[in-house]
Amino acid sequence: MFIDEVMSLVELTELKNAMVGIPGATGLSAEQRKRLTIAVELVASPSIIFMDEPTTGLDARAAAIVMRTVRKTVDTGRTVVWDRICVSTVPGLHELQHPAAGGGNRESRALP
């Protein structure tokens, strides 16, 4: 049952039996592949997930879907740390939290 919960969390339930395929030719889209990668990591049930440029190469719509998956992941109580997101292309990103800048301040604040 845990697999079904993860598939639902990353919004891939409808593609449960799909082949990953060849990038750009068949199978999952780039955005679906990124969500699949997140799902693979979630199966291990980590308390912290590190993501390097999770929206790179995606258009605004696809980036928003990936970031909605990140938001849902955070809502499960996991910590997500990401690097190099182009904020201007990710609708709703300001709703997520990020560590405040400064010397060791562990509080979070919403992005402007």
Q: Going from the N-terminus, what domains does the chain have, and what CATH number goes with each? A: 2-99 (3.40.50.300)
Gap between the Cα atoms of 84 and 97, Å rounded: 15
- Give the total residue count for the chain: 112
Q: What is the pLDDT of residues 28-83, one digit of tens each?
A: 888 888 889 888 988 888 889 888 888 888 888 888 888 888 888 888 888 888 87
Q: Using one digit for the tens of pLDDT, what is the confidence trace for 33-48?
A: 888 988 898 888 888 9
pTM more than 0.75? no
- Quick one: what percent of the chain has pLDDT higher than 70? 71
Q: Which of 49, 86, 87 is nearest to 70 (CA)?
A: 49
